């Protein structure tokens, strides 16, 4: 794993955006895996800026989102489809038909999950997957104890995640769906590159356990220790519980230019 510690979330997001932009320039028909939540917002804003000011071209890019709430229609204010449309897809030149978010209203959820996996395969697999992390270490909505072999499926959220996400539903926990569809950990591990972003003190324990703790299903993100190309972008506060911060900075600062955004 490569650990990139920046002074704040904005600087970390700009560094992550450079990795995404380099991939899209080198492979214009890249397949991106995308995440929701508050964490990737600065990354998406930077990608929009790169599109508008530097001509970063998304016209051939395909995307697959990690997850969606079960029961929310795409136009619902808190659906992840709407989040993506508003925060990334509409301001860039991506073709909407090339964007994929799991269908929270699917009548046959297992069939819809299998079709999602198949669509990823048919697109050539995910080149780069963007990840946030829950304070309990979840990735996508793969809550603690999710199988490392899991594929796209329905999951039940933990009470902690329901409570945490209630802030997006006017603080009303009863409005937060209890079920979601999420890519599995196996699906995420199939991506050729994974980039995780984590900002703020409430992520510090999960970040430390993910990077320096044992690989265990109780801390789903720790599986990234087994990924051949995983980068973790953190701000100072999210890095505060790591033991080897001096080493991570030493490695990053010593990188040759050609390797920096690869």
The DSSP line for 48-89 is HHHHHHH----TT-EEEESEEETT--TTSTT-HHHHHIIIII
185 binds ligand GLP (CB under 6 A): no
146 binds ligand GLP (CB under 6 A): no
Q: Which of 67, 68, 103, 190 is catalytic?
A: 67
> Total residues at the site for ligand GLP (CB under 6 A)?
14
In sign, the C-alpha dihedral spanning 48, 236, 160, 136 is positive
For ligand GLP, the closer of residues 109 and 183 by Cβ is 183
Residue 67 appears among annotated catalytic residues: yes
Rounded to a whole number of angstroms, the distance between the first and last alpha carbons of the chain is 13
Whole-number Å distance between alpha carbons of 207 and 242: 8
165 binds ligand GLP (CB under 6 A): yes
Residue ranges in 48-107 that form contacts with ligand GLP under rule CB under 6 A: 66-67
- For tokens 């964490």, the residue is 39
37 binds ligand GLP (CB under 6 A): yes
Residue 136 appears among annotated catalytic residues: yes
Q: Which of 46, 100, 127, 138 is catalytic?
A: 138
Q: Which of 68, 117, 127, 143 is catalytic?
A: 143
For ligand GLP, the closer of residues 46 and 67 by Cβ is 67
Residue 190 appears among annotated catalytic residues: no
Task: Please answer whether residues 13 and 46 qualify as being in contact, where contact means their C-beta atoms are separated by less than 8 angstroms.
Answer: yes
User: Smallest gap, in angstroms, from Cβ of residue 38 to ligand GLP?
Assistant: 4
Token pair of 19, please? 């990795």
Whole-number Å distance between alpha carbons of 167 and 200: 16
For ligand GLP, the closer of residues 56 and 231 by Cβ is 231
User: Smallest gap, in angstroms, from Cβ of residue 66 to ligand GLP?
Assistant: 5
Segment holding 9, helix H or strand E: helix 9-26
Give the range of 33-41, 56-64, 114-122, 206-214 binding ligand GLP by CB under 6 A.
Answer: 33-41
Angular region, 37: left φ>0, alpha ψ -120 to 50, beta rest: left
Active-site residue list:
67, 136, 138, 143
Residues binding ligand GLP (CB under 6 A):
35-39, 66-67, 132-134, 140-141, 161, 165
């Amino acid at each position: 794993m490569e650990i990139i510690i920046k002074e704040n979330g904005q600087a970390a997001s700009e560094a992550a955006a450079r990795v995404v932009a380099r991939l899209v320039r080198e492979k214009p028909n890249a397949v991106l895996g995308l995440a929701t939540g508050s964490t990737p917002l600065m990354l998406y804003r930077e990608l929009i800026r790169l599109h508008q000011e530097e001509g970063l071209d998304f016209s051939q890019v395909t995307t697959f989102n990690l997850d969606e709430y079960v029961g929310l229609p795409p136009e619902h204010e808190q659906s992840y489809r709407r989040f993506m449309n508003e925060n990334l897809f509409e301001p860039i030149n991506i073709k909407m038909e090339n964007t994929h978010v799991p269908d929270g209203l699917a009548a046959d959820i297992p069939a819809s999950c299998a079709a999602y996996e198949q669509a990823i395969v048919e697109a050539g697999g995910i080149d780069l997957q963007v990840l946030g992390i829950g304070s309990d270490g979840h990735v996508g909505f793969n809550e603690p104890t999710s199988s490392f072999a899991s594929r796209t499926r329905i999951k039940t959220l933990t009470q902690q995640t329901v409570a945490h996400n209630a802030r997006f539903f006017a603080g009303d926990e009863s409005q937060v769906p209890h079920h979601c569809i999420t890519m599995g950990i196996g699906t995420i591990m199939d991506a050729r590159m994974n980039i995780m972003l984590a900002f703020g003190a409430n992520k510090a324990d999960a970040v430390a356990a993910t990077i320096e703790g044992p690989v265990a299903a109780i801390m789903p993100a720790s599986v990234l220790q087994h990924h051949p190309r995983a980068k973790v972008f953190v701000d100072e506060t999210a890095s505060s519980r790591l033991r080897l911060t001096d080493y991570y900075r030493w490695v990053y600062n010593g990188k040759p230019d050609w390797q920096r955004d690869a």
